[in-house]
Amino acid sequence: MHPNQTVQRRRRLAKGQMPFAVVFSCIDSRVPPEIVFDRGLGDLFATRTGAQTADAVALGSVEFGPDETGTPLIFVLGHEACGAVTAAIESIRTNTPAPGHVQAVVDALRPAYDIAVGQSGDMVDNMVRAQTKLTVAQRKNEPGLAEKIKAGRLMIVGGRYSLTTGRVELIA
Ligand SMILES: [Zn+2]
């Protein structure tokens, strides 16, 4: 429906924003959160890294919405056929370091790899799901965020986007 994409909306938002959700998702060109969730200007805070891996800067960016404007939802979004996950599996399996700073993404995916490698089925998809669930669990344990959840002011959930169907399935 392409909501909130008019010139009037843009002008109104110049005075301030109050997005209703934070989306923490992958850099993948096929998964822009505003298009996946059919939203427009001022609707979402979006933090995007390879396979929604987190370092301190990314986490600070995710927490910005709940801390500064009271954003009531953090949605961690993994997706089908994640290239970052696929590259990490290749790097770990062959014990070949990824080029440059890509290695930092591989390192951050190691815990999800360790979970997925023991599961049956599709390794990439298992690892996408593991990474999403781990990220949700870790965010829920962040003291500042845990306090907001307890007070009923924040929800943190995780989903998997299907490139094939365009649907997001809640998985955490
Ligand atoms: Zn991806």
51: CA distance to ligand 1 center in Å?
5
167: CA distance to ligand 1 center in Å?
16
48: CA distance to ligand 1 center in Å?
10
Q: Is-contact 27 84, C-beta < 8 A?
A: yes
Whole-number Å distance between alpha carbons of 120 and 125: 11
pLDDT for res 95? 98
Q: HSE of 57 in the Cβ direction (CA atoms, 13 Å)?
A: 2
pLDDT for res 53? 98
Kindly report, residue by residue over 29-84, the tens digit of the pLDDT.
999 999 999 999 999 999 999 999 999 999 999 999 999 999 999 999 999 999 99
**Structural domain spans, the chain:** 7-170
59: CA distance to ligand 1 center in Å?
18
54: CA distance to ligand 1 center in Å?
13
| Residue-wise burial string across 43-76, b where 16 or more C-beta atoms lie within 10 A, e elsewhere | bbbbbbbbbbbbeeebbebbbebbeeeebbbbbb
Helical H runs in 14-163?
33-36, 56-64, 83-94, 102-116, 123-141, 143-150
* Mean pLDDT across 1-22: 98
91: CA distance to ligand 1 center in Å?
16
79: CA distance to ligand 1 center in Å?
6
84: CA distance to ligand 1 center in Å?
5
CA 172 to chain centre: 12
Does the domain formed by 7-170 have CATH 3.40.1050.10? yes
81: CA distance to ligand 1 center in Å?
7
pLDDT for res 33? 98
Kindly report, residue by residue over 72-118, the tens digit of the pLDDT.
999 999 999 999 999 999 999 999 999 999 999 999 999 999 999 99
List the 73-79 sheet strands across, edge first: 44-49, 21-26, 73-79, 155-161, 168-170
SS3 content of the chain, % helix, strand, coil (to 5): 50, 15, 35
120: CA distance to ligand 1 center in Å?
21
User: Which pair of tokens denotes residue 25?
Assistant: 């998702």
pLDDT for res 143? 96
63: CA distance to ligand 1 center in Å?
21
